Structure 1
Amino acid sequence: MKRADGRSDCPTNFTVEALGDSWSLLILRDILALGKRSFGEFLASDERIGQSVLAERLDRLERTGLVSRSTSPTDARKQLYIATERGIDVIPLLLEAVRWGVGGLPPVGEDDPWMQVLQVDRGDLIAAWQRSVRAGRSLFGDGGALEDLAAAGA
């Protein structure tokens, strides 16, 4: 069966359409794990996405209900992008992408933040990460999920 806005009704196809390009999952990583919110912050990421591609991907993520856009309370010219509940639901998928990706990398040190993430119980990590994002924080950084888990002794 064909959908009007995509190739099929297959859930895998929907996931690929929403996240399968080379930038959407990285933008969600920036929001969910690194706490980035603004266009300028996304542009400053190591992967160096172009402005027009970034604008298109942010629009697509908003259309698919993964992020919402609002005006910054401190600068009316600035738009902020926040993960929606649907976007927060991507956290387990992002975590598994990290686990899979580590297997293809040259060995990294135990002090690498992503290696620290992989040492935490998966269920505890996902729950803390989702709580943190819902509270306006992220995985890493001040007050993030990793700090919460460390304080709890996880």
Structure 2
Amino acid sequence: MDSGEMKWRSACPICSALDVLGDRWTMLIVRDLIVHGPRTYSELLDSREGIATNILADRLSLLSSLMLVERVNPDSPARNNAFRLTKGGEALRPVLEGLGKWAQVNLKNFHQDMLRMPDSPKKRK
């Protein structure tokens, strides 16, 4: 899927953000790129949550078309290339951190095995 195929449910900004980021996998891809920096397709595929290869390809295509993720070397094939966040993707860092903090406070009694938020590398300027 790419941005041209998006089916926007409404003009509400929150709804629009959820149309892009609200599925099970997209924010986990963004999380991995925030926490680990640039990652190859194979490294993203090996995430502990176990994303399927077709879903990963679809989400990377969507994130790329929305200019949230880019290839480190645009002329290299996807499997041999690393992906990184763009400035727009990096802007999701506080959203993810806030969501993680919310979960640690509000879900801790329901999910005893929840980990603390992973340390993320310092933001590059």
Normalised-by-shorter TM-score class:
0.7 to 0.9
* Aligned counterpart, 2:117: 114
**1:3-41 deviations in Å (ceiling 9; x for gaps):** x94222211011101110000000000001122511100
**Structure 1 residue ranges without an equivalent (≥5):** 118-124, 135-154
**Structure 2 residue ranges without an equivalent (≥5):** none
| Identity level (%) | 28
2:43 equivalent to 1:37:
no
Between the aligned partners of 1:95 and 1:51, the Cα distance in structure 2 is 26
Letter in structure 2 aligned against 1:114? M
Between the aligned partners of 2:74 and 2:82, the Cα distance in structure 1 is 6
TM-score, normalization: structure 2?
A: 0.76
TM-score, normalization: structure 1?
A: 0.63
* Aligned counterpart, 1:11: 13
Between the aligned partners of 2:68 and 2:26, the Cα distance in structure 1 is 10
**1:94-140 deviations in Å (ceiling 9; x for gaps):** 001111222323166xxx6627x5xxxxxxx9xx84x33x5xxxxxx
RMSD (CA atoms): 2.7
- Deviant stretches of 4+, over 2 Å: 70-73, 112-115
Determine which structure has more spread, i.e. the larger CA radius of gyration: 1
Matched length: 114
